[in-house]
Amino acid sequence: MNKTIIKNSLIFLLVLVLLSSLYFLGRAVQGAEQFNRIYLWLFGASILAVLILGIIIIQRLIWLYIQHRKNAAGIKLTSRMVKTFIALSLPPVLIVYLFSTQFLNNYIDSWFDTKTSQALNDSLELGQIFLDAQTRQALIQTRKIAKNLAEIDEPRQAIYLEKYLDDSSASSLILISASGNSIGQASNDFDLNITLPPQSAYRDVRNGNNFVRTEPKSGGQLQIRTLVKIDNVLKFRSSYRYLQGLFAIQSEYSNLAHNIETASIGYNQQKYQREQLKSSFNIILALVLMLSMLLALIRAFSSAKKLVAPVRLLSKATQAIAEGDYSQKIPVNSKDEIGFLVKSFNTMSSQLEASSALAHRAQTDAISQKWYLESVLSHLSSGVLSINNEQRILMANAAANKILNLAGRDILNQNIEFLAIKNKSLSPFVELIITKLKDHSEEWQQETLISENDLRRVLVVRGSRIPKNEQEEGGLVVVFDDQTIINQAQRDAAWSEVARRLAHEVKNPLTPIQLSAERLRLRFLNKLPEEDKDILDRATQTIVSQVENLKTLVNAFSDYAKAPELKREPGGLNQLIKEAIDLYFISHAGINFQLDLVSPEPTMYIDKVRFSQLMTNLIKNSQESAGSNEINICIKTSISKIIDNSLVIKFSDDGKGFNQKILKHLFEPYETTKVTGSGLGLAIVKKIVEEHGGNIKAYNQGINQDGGAVIEITLPIYQPIHQK
């Protein structure tokens, strides 16, 4: 706003300076003396003001061009209105300018008409004739007085001057000596400063010429000065003298002559400067034309911007509303149709803002409900999928990706068959969903079995039909859970209960049986004949041996069934692994160990006794599977690249590997191919791993999985901050 005020003030000042300069320039051209001296300054000031106004116009034209390039709101209408203003204002100004210059040139030419020039010349000639007559008369009178004085004695000549003055029309008579000094004078003029003729006048008179001239007198009047020589008539005269006569011309004649001369000089001067005068007036008119055009352009820009301003504001506000900003309000500055339009727009924007607020609140509520639902779904342990009738997945929570092993893959907006393409083991799950989509079942529940990497998983799948309406396209909501762990836990609990009861029921009679067999042997072995003695010895030895085997089996049951309290503490695994190896390295020469332990080793949070039991079971399992054959065992530890903050223990041997028939159920109790094995060793290992929050898997080496056995254990690394 301040810039606009400053710019308008500058334009007003420039216009004022230009008008003042043009006014004074016109006075100077007309011949005003006080303005002739500053003519060039006035002309320069006018040109400078016009140039500045022109620069302002150029700036506005540049602004108009830039706004056109930007395609600013209302700029096309502004340009059209500026063109309209220019088209309406310039033709009348140009017409006035053309007629004014033509009229002015003709008017100036009319000043120098032939009759006027002839009249002035005749007036000058008449005046000159009058002056010539007066001059001759004055010279005749002066000569006559000089002739009379020549007949009078020199001492008395000055006395007769008064008499001759009264008899003539002279205003002053002066008697001058030969040396040029005044001897005597007579005058009717009150002016005491009567001047003598110049020295050249004396020389002309001595040479026999007449001296007579018309000259100005004080007061603006004219007078005739004459000078004649007084001849030596008397013989006793020693030298000659001069007589000067001053004859005043009447003031009426002087004024008329002066006026005629002034008019003639002015006329001739203007006649000489006629073209220059025309040019000056034409320049002034051109400056006036330029001023009018510039003011018209400035007014055109100003009026166009003022008229288009509401339209531009309406355009911007409409665009803002189209972009979703309904708070637009435009000030009402007029009471005409545009003002009514602005007022109607403000009413419309207020209504839109109110409607938008209601819609925004409804949308916010919907988003809140959606976030709430997503939050609930994200924290569910069950997988949830939303599928439309076109078999496209519209929603999937984190548990769904985890259960289906699709972490890191974007399955949204994908066809349900995409799951089977990425993971073939999910084909039964996908086929179940597609079937239920096609048969339009409202609600259903079914189990499906998924086999992936020799691991069987049981999924309990429940589905519900989404009704189709105008907003929703219908489909199916599928909720599923991985029942494998629960089933496994149920089996483990059942086996633990069986093992506990077996250990309890079997362990009680074993000791009496063993003691009874030993007592029979001690009492009757030496009393029987050799033949019966040998039979009793073998029978009692068999009973004692089998009781020891049963005790071992019962102890295994007891270890599997009980859930001891873990005594976990921070520590490393490398030393525990080496200690477990040392036990077998000394007593079993057929076992070769190869260690590849990570260094520096991470700190683990473990129960050292239980971990030693885990390593012992693994080594024992490999040793028993090899029998009397030599076996090489490799134990490798490394930081997991898949699971953060986890340590991987890879236990492998070069034996015959696991039986493919039981590989899927390897960690279940009583799953073994060994004749003497209990089938609880690896089950106990799995239990210890799970007690430490880890996981375990088993497979055979080689492309066809026909090589040695591999057991891979993943355990979490100790986190002090989390532990606290």
**Pairing relation of β-strands 221-230 and 241-248?**
antiparallel
What is residue 274's predicted lDDT score, i.e. its pLDDT?
56
**H helical segments located in 30-113:** 33-36, 39-70, 75-111
- pLDDT band at residue 712 using 50, 70 and 90 as cut-offs: very high
Report the CATH architecture of 135-265. 2-Layer Sandwich (3.30)
Residues 421-429: contacts with CB under 8 Å, at least 24 apart: 423/452, 425/450, 425/451, 425/452, 426/450, 429/404, 429/459, 429/461, 429/480
What is residue 99's predicted lDDT score, i.e. its pLDDT?
67
In tens, the pLDDT along 675-696 reads: 555 567 788 888 888 888 888 8
Percent of the chain with pLDDT over 70: 67
In tens, the pLDDT along 329-349 reads: 777 777 777 777 778 878 887
Taking only Cα atoms into account, the Rg of the chain, rounded to an integer number of angstroms, comes to 69
In tens, the pLDDT along 428-458 reads: 888 888 888 888 777 888 888 877 665 677 7
What is residue 648's predicted lDDT score, i.e. its pLDDT?
93
135-265 shares its CATH topology with 380-482: yes
In tens, the pLDDT along 28-66 reads: 555 544 445 555 665 666 677 667 767 777 777 777 777
Whether pLDDT at 249 is above 70: yes
What is residue 181's predicted lDDT score, i.e. its pLDDT?
82
In tens, the pLDDT along 259-270 reads: 676 666 666 656
Q: Name the superfamily (CATH) of residues 569-723.
A: Histidine kinase-like ATPase, C-terminal domain (3.30.565.10)
Domain ranges across the chain: 2-111+273-317, 135-265, 380-482, 489-561, 569-723
Q: Which of 222, 204, 206 is nearest to 214 (CA)?
A: 222
What is residue 32's predicted lDDT score, i.e. its pLDDT?
43
- Looking at per-residue pLDDT, the higher value among 500 and 531 belongs to 531
Taking phi first (over 0 means left), then psi (-120 to 50 degrees means alpha), and beta for anything else, what does residue 153 get? beta
Mean pLDDT for 287-297 is 70
* Identity of residue 214: T
Whether pLDDT at 238 is above 60: no
What is residue 647's predicted lDDT score, i.e. its pLDDT?
92
In tens, the pLDDT along 201-222 reads: 888 888 888 888 888 776 667 7
User: Does the domain spanning 380-482 belong to CATH 3.30.450.20?
Assistant: yes
In tens, the pLDDT along 533-548 reads: 777 777 777 777 777 7
In the DSSP assignment, the letter for residue 536 is: H
- pLDDT band at residue 513 using 50, 70 and 90 as cut-offs: confident
What is residue 79's predicted lDDT score, i.e. its pLDDT?
74
What is residue 634's predicted lDDT score, i.e. its pLDDT?
93
